[in-house]
Amino acid sequence: MLEVQDLEVRYGEALAVRGVSLAVREGEWVALIGPNGAGKTSLIKALLGLVPHRGAVRFLGRDLSRRPPWDRARAGLGYVPEGRRLFPKLTVEENLRAGAYTRPEAEVRAGLEEVYALFPRLAERRRQLAGTLSGGEQQMVALGRALMGRPRLLLVDEASWGLMPLAVDLVFQTLARIHREGRAILLVEQNARRALAHAQRAYVMEAGRVVLEGPAARVAQDPRVLESYVG
């Protein structure tokens, strides 16, 4: 589904991503873990075309390496950014609509119904300003906004960032439901224990490189991961 080969991201003289290769299969949940500054977010942004990069990015058999961000979104890549990045002075529904602004109104309405079915709390707050929501509710909006684009692959950056434990539980339950419905997920996550418990495969990044990969259950038992990320 997604094939990445020898990806590099450079900021000036600093090489943030160093020749990374990875893959996500159809309907698969893949976790990408590692310390702060490992290059995980830079990798995700490169896949979306948000930062310049070298290397190959292929999705559903199509070469996206030189395509702009909007074309990659149309191809089926959805994005939930770190920190949620909502429009705080717009309502919940206006934020959701922003994820499908190029689609016909009938498709937008159908998408809203699906998101509200997944997040009933958002239906109750559809006219509330996004900036007044709790962190967990804002993460629901961010997930819903990404789903409005009907992605085949959801790229999620730090889903549990800044959330209370109960909200983290809800976010991972929701991601599990989205995955059961057939969507592939590439999850960047500091909470390695939770990410590895849900994912099927995993990659570990350090200093811009992939240093470990394999089935998530096996990665979770690797001594390096146990010492540094799981404990």
The fraction of the chain above a pLDDT of 70, given in percent, is 100
Residue 112 has pLDDT above 90, yes or no: yes
Average pLDDT across the chain, whole number: 94
Q: What is the pLDDT of residues 96-109, one digit of tens each?
A: 999 998 788 999 99
Question: Higher-confidence residue: 166 or 9?
Answer: 9
- pLDDT in the model for residue 70: 92
- pLDDT in the model for residue 162: 82
Q: What is the pLDDT of residues 116-175, one digit of tens each?
A: 999 999 999 999 999 999 999 999 999 999 999 999 999 999 988 888 899 899 899 999
Give the angle 106-123-101 at the CA atoms, nearest 5°: 35
Structure tokens at 58: 């292929």
- Which of 153, 31, 130, 32 shows the shortest CA–CA distance to 83? 130
Average pLDDT score over residue span 25-46: 96
Residue 231 has pLDDT above 70, yes or no: no
Average pLDDT score over residue span 27-56: 96
- pLDDT in the model for residue 206: 96
Q: What is the pTM of this model?
A: 0.93
Structure tokens at 138: 């804002």
Q: Which helix (H) or strand (E) holds 75?
A: helix 69-75
- The position carrying tokens 């089935």 is 215
Q: What is the pLDDT of residues 202-226, one digit of tens each?
A: 999 999 999 999 999 999 999 999 9
The fraction of the chain above a pLDDT of 90, given in percent, is 86
Residue 230 has pLDDT above 90, yes or no: no
How far apart CA 185 and CA 176 sit, in angstroms, is 10
Which of the following CATH numbers is that of domain 1-76+151-215: 3.30.70.270, 3.40.50.300, 1.10.357.20, 3.30.50.10? 3.40.50.300
**Whether the Cβ atoms of residue 209 and residue 20 lie closer than 8 Å to each other:** yes
Residue ranges of the chain assigned to CATH 3.40.50.300: 1-76+151-215
- DSSP letters spanning the chain: -EEEEEEEEEETTEEEEEEEEEEE-TT-EEEEE--TTSSHHHHHHHHTTSS--EEEEEETTEE-TT--HHHHHHHTEEEE-TT----TTSBHHHHHHHTTTTS-HHHHHHHHHHHHHH-HHHHHTTTSBGGGS-HHHHHHHHHHHHHTT--SEEEEE-TTTT--HHHHHHHHHHHHHHHHTT-EEEEE-S-HHHHHHH-SEEEEEETTEEEEEEEHHHHHTSHHHIIIII-
Average pLDDT score over residue span 29-33: 98
Report the Cα 198 to chain-centroid distance in Å.
14
- pLDDT in the model for residue 163: 84
- pLDDT in the model for residue 1: 96
- pLDDT in the model for residue 164: 87
